[in-house]
């Protein structure tokens, strides 16, 4: 390697930092079409009910605080279920509303695999508020 006057040879490194490099592949493709852990609607229902017992019991509706409670409930549900069912995408829709003698209708629609995809719908009421939680487990492969 020739040297240029005034410039010292240095070792070149990548401009991309370590945090941007692709992670090491842990699993090779298995071409497995069935989930490793079968989906249990009962287990999901129990998990959702436990989280609603923790976060929603005694909830008094407040316009400023209720959206944060809904976000917290959804995050806890997803965090609890996403590592149990590794081949499923867990989607959680939480709606909290004030009880004022009104009706509430919620509709969600998308393409669905009737054999592998499932959902759980739970509803709770307190004297001033109600919550509706819908958890979708959508198979990834």
Contact 141, 116 (CB under 8 A): no
In this predicted structure, the answer to whether residue 12 has a pLDDT above a threshold of 60 is no
In this predicted structure, the answer to whether residue 16 has a pLDDT above a threshold of 80 is no
Question: What are the sequence ranges of the domains in the chain?
Answer: 61-101+108-141
Mean pLDDT of 111-123: 90
Provide the CA 126 distance to its chain's centre, in angstroms.
25
What local confidence, expressed as pLDDT, does residue 15 receive? 53
- Domain 61-101+108-141 carries which CATH code? 3.30.1140.40
What local confidence, expressed as pLDDT, does residue 124 receive? 93
Tens digit of each residue's pLDDT (9 = 90 or more) over 95-116: 999 998 888 888 888 888 888 8
pTM: 0.73
In this predicted structure, the answer to whether residue 18 has a pLDDT above a threshold of 50 is no
Beta bridge partners of residue 133, listed in sequence order: 94, 122
Q: Could you give the CA distance from residue 139 to residue 141 in angstroms, rounded to a whole number? A: 6
In this predicted structure, the answer to whether residue 1 has a pLDDT above a threshold of 60 is no
What local confidence, expressed as pLDDT, does residue 83 receive? 87
Tens digit of each residue's pLDDT (9 = 90 or more) over 23-72: 666 767 767 778 888 889 999 999 999 999 999 998 999 999 999 999 99
């Amino acid at each position: 390697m020739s040297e240029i006057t005034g410039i010292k040879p240095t070792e070149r490194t990548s401009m991309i930092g370590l945090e941007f490099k692709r992670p090491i592949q842990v699993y090779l493709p298995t071409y497995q079409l069935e989930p490793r852990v079968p989906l249990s609607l009962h287990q999901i229902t129990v998990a959702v009910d436990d989280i609603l017992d923790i976060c929603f019991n005694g909830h008094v509706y407040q316009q400023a605080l209720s959206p944060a409670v809904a976000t917290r409930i959804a995050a806890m549900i997803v965090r609890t279920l996403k590592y149990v069912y590794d081949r499923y995408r867990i989607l959680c829709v939480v709606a909290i509303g004030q009880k004022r003698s009104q009706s509430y209708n919620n509709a969600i629609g998308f393409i669905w695999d009737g054999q592998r995809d499932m959902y759980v719908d739970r509803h709770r009421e307190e004297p001033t508020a109600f919550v509706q939680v819908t958890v979708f487990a959508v198979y990834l492969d």
